[in-house]
RNA sequence: GGGGGAGUGUCCCGAGCGGCAAAGGGGGCGGACUGUAAAUCCGCUGGCGUACGCCUUCGUAGGUUCGAGUCCUACCUCCCCCA
């Protein structure tokens, strides 16, 4: 049983997959505040649920008396992490990377306290030290300490070699750069720990080696398990795309719905990982059987949404869901679009309207959905593709469009 | 540099004698059943159009053909072997 609050909480909640030196880290954490970091790629304008686990780890670090560092990887994103990928993807422009970084960073304010004390969170960008590197100097200062012998022992590399698959020098170097990040953070902020997903193990370990050789400092690695749903699906992907964390991409209501639709078998695990609720409360919720487990799912949804979007928004989402699904009445907090009053007066074709509402991506899809009985207007199934929606359909100022049982959008004139 | 193999429906994998909007999976969405769950069964899974229909898709660009994913040429990318 770990002595430090930090590792005890991590263990109890299921954040630990692998650690380079559990006892050593435990002793370090028990002796005082530790700085630990996680790197985030800038490949998209927002993080998605897949990164939430990492963010929660930073959060718990802080809550247990340590200093979390969020590293924006705008430098390494210029190279691209090959881990777990068959081939490299398209290269992002520097402007895109910069824009992505700005989109991503806003989320952290919700989860971390960037105060100035010893446990105040930090946000840094590895572009600050990577972009200015000189190739020859880097080789002399850093490259001399990097052991290729050890690097080729790493799982990711060894597997490629054994299977005689191509491994480019570029891919090989990503590991070195990430390792160098760790050393740089150790130098600048006394950072001793790097956290990450289990796929990052090799990259993190190379940083530990580098730290020992260059700075003679002992660094630590702690990875989290890969989170899949009980049915084996990767987390956070839906047909509409990833479940983004930024509110302009996925509204609090939609975010709440995402969690509400958790599989039974995942509820307990997700409560531990993605909420702050105390463990005894989670144990109680998890024990609920049959349809009662739905209560636990609502708690999960509200707590997770509150963390990201605030308690008020979570409450609204919850209330909107209650009205929509339990009372069968309309909730004004549902996602809403506005159409010009004149257009509505003139009448709008159903197909186009569903596309405008974002529920359908093309007229053809809408047509097919209607044939399959999947679309409803004001809770009445649409049977005619040629139907026209107009102001007559307004009920209490809005028209409710539905795709399936779960997705609803309100249309208002304006 | 030489030799061999491969790139298919913009989610993935993957069939494809010259007539193909292109088999089959997986995934996803919808319907039924449920508890906004899972499992199961059924349907859908290029764009436009009310419609006979039109348009765009098989790495890229040309060519041969009434007609090309399918044949030819060049190029690009990837993989393997040899140098």
Residue A270: which of A240, A309, A318, A236 has the closest Cα?
A236
Greater confidence (A281 vs A47) lies with: A281
The residue whose two tokens read 């090959």 is: A82
Chain B: bases < 7 Å from a protein Cβ: 13, 27-32, 34-39, 43-50, 78-81
Q: Any idea which nucleotide's C1' is nearest the CA of A320?
A: B36
Q: Which nucleotide is nearest to A267 (CA to C1')?
A: B37
Query: Whole-angstrom Cα distance, residue A349 to residue A57?
Result: 48
A53 touches strand B (CB under 7 A): no
A156 touches strand B (CB under 7 A): no
A3-7, A35-39, A279-283, A324-328: least confidently modelled range = A324-328
Q: Tokens for A380? A: 């009445």
Q: Model pTM?
A: 0.89
pLDDT in tens, A302-326: 999 999 999 999 999 999 999 999 8
pLDDT digits (tens, 9 = 90+) for A238-270: 545 568 898 888 889 989 999 999 989 889 999
Distance A379 CA to B39 C1' (A): 28
pLDDT digits (tens, 9 = 90+) for A64-100: 999 999 999 988 887 766 554 444 444 567 787 888 8
- Which chain A residues 96-115 have CB under 7 A to strand B? none
| Cα–Cα dist A255/A314, whole Å | 9
A294 touches strand B (CB under 7 A): yes
Q: Give A190 CA → B71 C1' in Å.
A: 66
Tell whether the model's pLDDT for residue A184 goes beyond 90.
yes
DSSP annotation of A398 = B
Q: What ipTM was reported for this prediction?
A: 0.85
A239 touches strand B (CB under 7 A): yes
A325-358: per-residue pLDDT in tens?
988 888 888 889 999 988 888 889 999 999 999 8
pLDDT higher than 90, residue A279: yes
Give yes or no for CB of A241 within 7 Å of strand B: no
pLDDT, mean of residues A110-135: 93
Nucleotide nearest to A168 (CA to C1'): B78
Strand B contacted by A250 CB (< 7 A): no
**pLDDT: is A28 or A233 the higher one?**
A28
Which percentage of chain A shows pLDDT scores above 70?
89
Beta bridge mates, A160: none
**pLDDT tier at A233, thresholds 50, 70, 90:** low
Residue A120 has pLDDT above 60, yes or no: yes
Please report, rounded to whole angstroms, the spatial distance between the CA atom of protein residue A206 and the C1' atom of nucleotide B80: 30
Q: How far apart are CA A44 and CA A25, in angstroms?
A: 33
pLDDT at residue A160 above 80?
A: no
The nt closest to A290 (CA vs C1′) is: B35
pLDDT at A221: 96
pLDDT for the residue numbered A86: 40
């Amino acid at each position: 049983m770990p002595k430090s609050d930090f590792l005890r909480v991590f263990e109890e909640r299921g954040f630990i997959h692998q650690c380079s030196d559990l006892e050593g880290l435990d002793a370090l954490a028990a002796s005082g505040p530790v700085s630990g970091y996680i790197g985030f790629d800038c490949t998209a304008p927002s993080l998605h649920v897949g990164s939430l686990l990492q963010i929660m780890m930073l959060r718990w670090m802080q809550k247990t008396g340590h200093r979390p560092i969020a590293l924006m990887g705008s430098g390494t994103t210029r190279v691209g992490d090959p881990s777990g990928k068959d081939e490299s993807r398209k290269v992002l422009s520097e402007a895109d990377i910069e824009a992505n970084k700005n989109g991503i960073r806003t989320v952290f304010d919700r989860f971390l306290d960037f105060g100035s004390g010893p446990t105040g969170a930090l946000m840094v960008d590895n572009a600050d030290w990577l972009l200015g590197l000189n190739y020859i100097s880097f080789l002399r200062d850093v490259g001399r300490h990097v052991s290729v012998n050890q690097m080729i022992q790493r799982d990711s590399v060894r597997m490629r070699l054994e299977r005689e698959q191509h491994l480019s020098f570029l891919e090989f170097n990503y590991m070195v750069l990430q390792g160098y990040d760790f050393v740089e953070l150790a130098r600048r902020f006394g950072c001793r720990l790097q956290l990450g997903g289990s796929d990052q193990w090799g990259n993190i370990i190379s940083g530990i080696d580098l730290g020992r050789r260059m700075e003679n400092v002992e660094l630590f690695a702690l990875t989290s398990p890969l989170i899949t749903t009980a049915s084996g699906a990767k987390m956070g992907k839906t047909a509409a795309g990833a479940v983004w964390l930024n509110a302009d991409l996925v509204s609090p209501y939609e975010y709440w719905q995402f969690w509400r639709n958790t599989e039974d078998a995942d509820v307990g695990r997700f409560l531990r990982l993605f909420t702050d609720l105390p463990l005894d409360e989670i144990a109680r919720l998890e024990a609920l059987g049959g349809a009662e487990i739905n209560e636990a799912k609502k708690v999960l949804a509200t707590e997770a949404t509150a963390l990201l979007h605030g308690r008020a928004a979570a409450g609204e989402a919850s209330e909107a869901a209650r009205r929509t699904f339990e009372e069968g009445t309309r909730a004004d907090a549902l996602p809403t679009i506005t159409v010009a009053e004149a257009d509505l007066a003139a009448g709008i074709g159903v197909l186009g309207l569903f596309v405008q509402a974002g529920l359908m991506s093309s007229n053809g899809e809408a047509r097919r959905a209607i044939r399959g009985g999947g679309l409803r207007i004001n809770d009445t199934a649409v049977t005619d593709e040629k139907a026209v929606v107009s102001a007559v359909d307004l009920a209490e100022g809005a028209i409710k469009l539905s795709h399936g049982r779960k997705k609803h959008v309100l249309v208002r004139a304006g």
